[in-house]
Structure 1
Amino acid sequence: MKNLNICIDIDGTITDPYYWLSYANSYFNSNVSENQITSYNIAEILNVKDIDYLRFYEKCKFEIHSKQELRDDVKKVLNELYKSNNIYFVTARDKSLELLTFQYLKNNEISFDKVLVLGTYNKVPSANELQCDVFIEDSYDNAISLSNAGFKVILIDTNYNRFPLNHNIIRASNWNEIFNIINEIQERKSIIDILITGN
C-alpha cells in the first residue's frame, strides 16, 4: 500500500514557470522579462487584451506545451516519490491537450498513476475524488482554493505567487525542498497511523 496521494499541477509546477515568455514576446513584439511577471494574469502582464492573448495561446499552445523544459530535479524527485506514493497529475489545461500531456510525461520518463486534464481551474472536486493528501501547485489562487477546502498545499515559489499564505500552505523554493517536505508529511502520517491502529 502506498503512503500518500500526491496531486501535482503541471505548468509552472513541474515545468519552467516562464516557458511561454519567449513565444509571447515574439508574437506580441514585446520585451517582458521574468522579473516583471508578478501576476498570474498573463494578458495583464503583456498589456494586451484577453481576446488577443487567447488568440496567441490557441495558435501556439501545442508547440509551447510540447517543448517546455522541466524544472531542476523534477524527474529525479518524482520518480523517487512514485516508489512509495500515488502520483496524480491534475492540470487545468483544456481537453485538446490531453494526448499531448500524456505524451509529454512519457517522453520525459516521469512515472505517474493518473493524469486528469480538467479544462477548468477548479481542482477541489478532483482533489476530493483522489483523496488527496498533499497538492503541489504554482497558482496562488488554486493554492488558496485548495487550502480553504482543507487540503495541504505545497506552493512552489514563482514571481507571480508571492502573496500571504494560510496555515495549510507551505512555500517551497525547489523540488528538492518539496521532497523533504513530503518526507516529513509521510513521517507524521505514519506516526498518526501507528497511534490510531496501535501497530
Structure 2
Amino acid sequence: MNNLNICIDIDGTITNAYDWLDYANEYFNKNITEDQVTEYEIHQVMGIERHEYEDFYNKNKFKIHSEQKLRDDAKLIITVLYQMHNIHFVTARDLELETLTHLFLRKNEIPYDNLFVLGSHYKVDKAKELNCNIFIEDSYDNAIQLSNSGYKVLLIDTNYNRKPLNNNIVRVNNWKEIFLIINELSSQTKAV
C-alpha cells in the first residue's frame, strides 16, 4: 500500500482560526480584530494575564469547541484524502475534550482513522509513533518543533504564524493547496 500517514491538528487547522475571538472579546470587554491576532498565545493578544485567559477558557471551552466552524473545503478534502490515506487527528486540546472532539468530527461528518487528544502542544512523539509522512498544523511553534525533528509540515496561513520557515515547512493558504501538495507527495512516494 502507498497510503500516507497524514497527521492533522484541529483548532485553527480544520476549524476557523479565530472562532474564539468573539467569545474572548465579549468576556474581556475588548474589540480585538482578526488582523490584531499576531500571536498564538491568546492572553498576549488580549493584553491580559495568562491565568485570566485560562479562567475564561476553562469556563467556555466546551461551548467554544462545540460551536466552531470548519474552514472552507476542509471536510471535502479530508473526505477525499481518507479514501487513499490514513488520517490521524493530533490535537493539543485538554484531555477532558476527547469525547466532545469525537462528537464534533462525527457531527461534521469528517472521516478519520484515529484521534489523539494530547493535552500538550508537544506532538513529535505522536508523529513518530504514527510514522507521520506529513503534518498539517497552524501553530508556528509546533511546526518548527515537528520540522526540526524531520517531519514535513504544511502550515496553514494565519495572522499569528507569519514568521520565517525552514525547508521542512510549506505555508499553505487553504485546503485545496493542501490537497495538491499531498497528491504530489503521494505520487513521489509511489514512484520510489
TM-score normalized with structure 2 length: 0.99
C-alpha distance in 2 between matches for 1:117 and 1:148? 22
C-alpha distance in 1 between matches for 2:123 and 2:79? 23
Deviation (angstroms), 1:41: 1.0
Residue 113 (structure 2) pairs with residue 113 (structure 1): yes
Retained in 1: the 8 A contact 2:2–2:186? no
Q: How does 1:93-132 map to 2 (within 5 A)?
A: 93-132=93-132
When Rg is computed on C-alpha atoms for both structures, the one with the higher figure is: 1
Q: Residues 146-183 of structure 1: CA distance to partner in whole angstroms, max 9, x if unpaired? A: 00000000000000000010000011000001000100
Deviation (angstroms), 1:106: 0.3
Residue of structure 2 equivalent to 1:159: 159
Retained in 1: the 8 A contact 2:2–2:189? no
Retained in 2: the 8 A contact 1:2–1:86? no
Q: Residues 126-147 of structure 1: CA distance to partner in whole angstroms, max 9, x if unpaired? A: 0000000000000000000000
Residue of structure 2 equivalent to 1:141: 141
Residue 74 (structure 2) pairs with residue 74 (structure 1): yes
Deviation (angstroms), 1:23: 0.1
Residue of structure 2 equivalent to 1:10: 10
Q: Residues 67-113 of structure 1: CA distance to partner in whole angstroms, max 9, x if unpaired? A: 00000000100000000000000000010100000000000000000
Q: How does 1:163-178 map to 2 (within 5 A)?
A: 163-178=163-178
Retained in 2: the 8 A contact 1:154–1:172? yes
C-alpha distance in 2 between matches for 1:150 and 1:2? 20
Retained in 1: the 8 A contact 2:2–2:190? no
CA RMSD, 1 decimal: 0.6
Deviation (angstroms), 1:31: 0.2
CA 1:2–1:86: 2 relative to 1, 3 Å: farther
C-alpha distance in 1 between matches for 2:2 and 2:189? 12
C-alpha distance in 2 between matches for 1:78 and 1:44? 32
Return structure 1 stretches of 4+ with deviation > 6 angstroms.
none
C-alpha distance in 1 between matches for 2:79 and 2:26? 35
Retained in 1: the 8 A contact 2:43–2:50? yes
TM-score normalized with structure 1 length: 0.96
Identity of aligned residues (%): 58
Number of corresponding residues: 192
C-alpha distance in 2 between matches for 1:19 and 1:132? 28
